[in-house]
Amino acid sequence: MIKVNINKQLVSADSTFNLSLDFSVSKGSFVTIYGKSGVGKTTLLRILAGLEKPETGTIQVGNNFWFESKSKTDIKPQQRKIGMVFQDFALFPNLTIFDNLKYALSKNQSNEIITELIDTMSLSNLLKRKPNTLSGGQKQRVALARALVQQPEILLLDEPLSALDNEMRAYLQDFIIKMHKQYNLTTFMVSHDVSEVFKLSDIVLKLENGKILTSGTPESLFLEHTISEKFKVIGTVLSIKKTNAGLMVNVMYGSSVIQINSNEKETKNLNSGDKVMIESQLINPRIIKI
């Protein structure tokens, strides 16, 4: 169990507000922190990592207090069992990819974990290169692998996929899920992207003005009701076109485009770029093994 109850005053360019959060998540959860920019999402990650200090409150991980303002407990980032992927990846430019991974090893830790991560993250052909010669997706994979070298209990991801194209996003989302399960991690991820939230997380914390507006499963937060006998996907509207048969809506889902016949009523308030849910009654679905 991870229990967080913190208060911190945040000063931004045009406003000052209180970040005041109180939540608990069970071990092994995939938690997404969702909300507009400037509501304190990154600050929450930094507080969990020990890079920023709340004014009052507690952070309890299992039976240990990582932070407790009353007893002035504040465990250093070095001693918290966390892995963190920064928004700019923070790969060390002076070290090769292999040395970046090796740097993360703690004293007396064997090389084995690195070999394993290189294998699972498909990094073997990048090892001798320097970070500035890598593409965004490659940097992302290295940063994720490096964060896992010390075998942390908690993984913190700060909008890890925001700079990538859709195809690379989908590909890396799969890596993140794989790592989350393989290493029994409790993962906290900051994300803006609804489809990503749906695909990855168990729990969503929706933040607004420094408070948790709502929390729960992605379905309970983003869909008005949950109906399990329906097939549904979340996508982005690309275009709406008139054809002889009526209106045709093109929706981007992952890296594929779905065409859907629609009508004036359904598309009334719809513009390209909108997030939409496509649902369909599962009257007679077919499942084909591929």
Partner 1 sequence: MLDWSPIILTLELAVITTVILFIVSIPLALWLSMTTSKIKSILEAIVSLPLVLPPTVLGFYLLLAFSPESHVGSFLENTFGLQLAFSFTGLVVGSVIYSLPFMVHPLQSGFSSLPSSLTEASYVLGKSKIQTLFRIVLPNMKQSLLTGFVLTFAHTIGEFGVVLMIGGNIPNQTKLVSIAVYDEVESLNYDTAHIYSGILLVVTFIILIFVFIRKNNTFNWFK
Is position 78 an interface residue for partner 1 (rule: CB under 8 A)?
yes
DSSP H or E run through 191: strand 186-191
First to last CA, the chain: 39
CB of 11 to partner 1, least distance (A): 13
CB of 86 to partner 1, least distance (A): 5
Please say which residue, 5 or 87, places its beta carbon nearer to partner 1.
Answer: 87
**DSSP 3-state of 164:** coil
CB of 96 to partner 1, least distance (A): 12
Please say which residue, 101 or 194, places its beta carbon nearer to partner 1.
Answer: 101
Is position 5 an interface residue for partner 1 (rule: CB under 8 A)?
no
Please say which residue, 94 or 228, places its beta carbon nearer to partner 1.
Answer: 94
Is position 63 an interface residue for partner 1 (rule: CB under 8 A)?
no
Which listed residue (4, 39, 104, 179) binds partner 1 by CB under 8 A? Answer: 104
CB of 269 to partner 1, least distance (A): 40
Q: Per the structure block, which two tokens stand in for 119?
A: 């294998």
Is position 126 an interface residue for partner 1 (rule: CB under 8 A)?
no
Q: What is the DSSP string of 85-112?
A: E-TT----TTS-HHHHHHHTPPTT--TH
φ/ψ (deg, to 5) at 168: -65, -35
Is position 231 an interface residue for partner 1 (rule: CB under 8 A)?
no
| Per-residue mark of binding to partner 1, 142-161 (x: CB under 8 A) | ----xx-xx-----------
Please say which residue, 80 or 141, places its beta carbon nearer to partner 1.
Answer: 80
Match 């981007």 to its residue by tokens: 252
Virtual CA dihedral for 279, 281, 287, 290, nearest 10 degrees? -10
Is position 284 an interface residue for partner 1 (rule: CB under 8 A)?
no
Is position 90 an interface residue for partner 1 (rule: CB under 8 A)?
yes
Is position 34 an interface residue for partner 1 (rule: CB under 8 A)?
no
Is position 117 an interface residue for partner 1 (rule: CB under 8 A)?
no
Is position 240 an interface residue for partner 1 (rule: CB under 8 A)?
no
CB of 103 to partner 1, least distance (A): 7
DSSP H or E run through 166: helix 166-182
State how far the Cα of 258 lies from the Cα of 238, in Å rounded to an integer.
Answer: 10
With residues binned 3-state (H G I as helix, E B as strand, rest as coil), the percentages for the chain, rounded to 5, are: 25, 35, 40
Q: List, in order, residues 6 or more apart from 158 with CB less than 8 Å away.
A: 42, 45, 84, 85, 86, 87, 190
Given the rule CB under 8 A, which residues bind partner 1? 49, 51, 76-80, 82-84, 86-88, 90, 92-94, 103-104, 106, 146-147, 149-150
